[in-house]
Chains A and B, each alone.
Chain A
Amino acid sequence: MTGKKYRKVESFVALSFCCMAALFGLFWLVFILGDVVVYGFSAINWELFTEDPAPPGMEGGGLRNAFVGQLLITFFATLIGVPIGILGGTFIAEYGRGGKLSTIVSMFSDIMVSVPSIVIGTFVYAILVIPFGHFNGWAGSVALAVIMIPVVLRTTEDMLKLIPWSLREAAFALGAPYYKVIIQVVYRGAATGILTGILLAIARVAGETAPLLFTSFNNSFYTTDMNEPMASLTVTIFQYAMGPFDDWHQMAWAASFVITFFILIVTVTCRALVKWKYGKN
């Protein structure tokens, strides 16, 4: 075989393996999403959003408690996690640029990104559930916030570092103090990137179950009191899918569909934002 032919065969083999691996991955993805759509979509009805769960074994009912709980927990998690993440990222990229403390914080947040979420759940259980003696919504929000912080922090850091240093010097040269340079020039330039980071972090925590099992747990009743145990979609899916009743399974499918759809929308929004902002050049 000549060298040229041999290279062509090699190339063909490599290409085939790549395609097979891609198809294998795609197959399961479509399988899972397909199931969620088929079973989930058919299980969706108006009562799902307006009614609370019926007692076990009874027909009807919905998951209003879980939808509201999920929204509240995620909302407060965002409220706690995003400012800390953004300010931390700002410290690393601006005030502490190149310093020892920045390197350490940056490294630890890298580790935090890959800490199993159940570990974070048990940690928050120890500090916010045990002392109060019962599960509560706040603990759930804090657990999700802890997961969000490193994601937001690292994106913020990366986005701020993309802003050319000369832009900051130009603002300093006009007599701007550092905080104004950051708020008025740097944040403005990095806004889309930071927003994308926030949305990705929300999408990331919206699908978390383990940290909520240990913190907000579940509640079959509708509540907006964050001091109470609180239902969430993911924990509900876990419980209902394991449960003995058919209509529970139906509702688990419906909840799966809604949460998958939500994450899909958030992710697509992120991609659109990135494309809109950075796609031109």
Chain B
Amino acid sequence: MEKIVIETKNLSFFYAEQGNKPSLKNISLQIIEKGVTALIGPSGCGKTTLLRCFNRMHDLYPGIRYEGEIIFDGKNMLSSNTDLIDLRSRVGMVFQKPTAFPMSIFDNVAYGLKLKGESNKSEIADIVEQSLKNAALWDEVEDKLNASAYALSGGQQQRLVIARAMAVNPEIILFDEPTSALDPISTGKIEELIAEIKKDITIIIVTHNMQQAARISDHTGFVMLGEMVEYGKTEKIFTNPREKITEDYITGRFG
């Protein structure tokens, strides 16, 4: 039996500037532990908004409002007594554009560890090395760990950011269109990487690229106008969707 790692119950979300018009409406879904869940849908449909609920990134901005529940580890993470710092160290995030920090390659990967209070230097060095190896970047940066992260190419920076996210040993990593700013070769590398790390970490990925969703995901959710139109196994969604509109989107008739 597959284990559910995150379950949303009637989740609605309101941006401050949208007033009472929800950007997400009554979304209920279950994210299965390990493996890749892809969120697809037309631009502005709310898939990134949904993704950013899972580490409560929205809380950085005043005036936003959640309704419903997101159950994570037996608790509703939307409750006001959730420790956001702890939550975000368990639910990592990788963004569309590489977000390497203005520091050395080593310090980038070690950043999350230091935030967590890890001070044992050899322990940090071990984890940094392991994370870079897991992110398939070690061979390329091994001899320039103290160089600025900005000396790396965009694709390398994205893998560096993934290494940084993995270094704190999260249970989930959220990917927000991680390859949309990358060339095909770098994209291929990131996809291989995701296929590798999904064995240990639950991955939720937002993508505009349907082929990518079909290639890498085990489950797919089709989001439109803030609603979850259809959610299920990727093969099912891509070969025999329940809803006509899902089929229309996947076959490129709109969107």
B15 to chain A, nearest CB (A): 15
Q: Which of A164, A169, A174 contacts B164 (CB 8 A)?
A: A174
Q: Do B115 and A188 touch (CB < 8 A)? A: no
B contact residues around A199 at 8 Å (CB): none
Q: Do B89 and A169 touch (CB < 8 A)? A: no
Q: Do A166 and B101 touch (CB < 8 A)? A: no
Q: Name 18 interchain pairs, CB-CB below 8 A, sorted by A.
A: A164-B97, A167-B99, A167-B101, A169-B99, A170-B93, A170-B101, A172-B57, A173-B55, A173-B93, A173-B95, A173-B165, A174-B92, A174-B165, A175-B89, A175-B112, A175-B115, A176-B85, A189-B101
Per-residue CB proximity of A160-197 to B under 8 Å, as 1/0?
A: 00001011011111111100100011001100000000
B60 to chain A, nearest CB (A): 6
Q: A169-B57, A170-B161, A180-B115 are in contact. Are A175 and B86 (CB under 8 A)?
A: yes
B74 within 8 A of A: no
Q: A166-B97, A169-B60, A169-B95 are in contact. Are A174 and B102 (CB under 8 A)?
A: no
Complex Cα gap A176–B95 (Å): 16
B contact residues around A188 at 8 Å (CB): 101-103
Per-residue CB proximity of B98-131 to A under 8 Å, as 1/0?
A: 0101110000000110011000000000000000
Q: Do A175 and B168 touch (CB < 8 A)? A: yes
Complex Cα gap A172–B168 (Å): 14
B9 within 8 A of A: no
A-binding residues in B (CB < 8 A)? 55, 57, 60, 84-89, 92-93, 95-97, 99, 101-103, 111-112, 115-116, 161, 164-165, 168
A contact residues around B85 at 8 Å (CB): 175-177
B contact residues around A175 at 8 Å (CB): 84-89, 112, 115-116, 168
A contact residues around B55 at 8 Å (CB): 173
Number of A-B contacts (CB under 8 A): 63
Interface size on A, residues (CB 8 A): 17
Q: Do B92 and A173 touch (CB < 8 A)? A: yes
Q: Do A185 and B88 touch (CB < 8 A)? A: no
Complex Cα gap A166–B95 (Å): 8
Q: Which of B96, B102, B112, B168 contacts A185 (CB 8 A)?
A: B102
Q: A175-B112, A176-B115 are in contact. List 14 more A-B contacts (CB 8 A).
A: A166-B95, A169-B93, A169-B95, A170-B93, A170-B161, A172-B60, A173-B55, A173-B165, A175-B88, A175-B89, A175-B115, A175-B168, A185-B102, A189-B101
Q: Do B95 and A185 touch (CB < 8 A)? A: no
Q: Which of A173, A175, A176 has the most CB of B within 10 A?
A: A173
Complex Cα gap A13–B85 (Å): 65
Complex Cα gap A136–B199 (Å): 71
A contact residues around B89 at 8 Å (CB): 174-175
A contact residues around B116 at 8 Å (CB): 175
B contact residues around A166 at 8 Å (CB): 95-97, 99
B138 to chain A, nearest CB (A): 20
Q: Do A170 and B99 touch (CB < 8 A)? A: yes
A200 to chain B, nearest CB (A): 22
Q: A170-B93, A174-B168 are in contact. Are A189 and B102 (CB under 8 A)?
A: yes
Complex Cα gap A48–B102 (Å): 45
Complex Cα gap A174–B162 (Å): 11
Considering the complex, give the chain A residue whose CB is closest to the CB of B102: A189
A185 to chain B, nearest CB (A): 5
B186 to chain A, nearest CB (A): 18
Complex Cα gap A175–B89 (Å): 5
A contact residues around B115 at 8 Å (CB): 174-176, 180
B contact residues around A185 at 8 Å (CB): 101-102
A161 to chain B, nearest CB (A): 15
Q: Which of B89, B97, B101, B112 has the most CB of A within 10 A?
A: B101
A contact residues around B92 at 8 Å (CB): 173-174
Considering the complex, give the chain B residue whose CB is closest to the CB of A174: B112
Complex Cα gap A177–B84 (Å): 9
Q: Do A171 and B95 touch (CB < 8 A)? A: no
B contact residues around A167 at 8 Å (CB): 99, 101
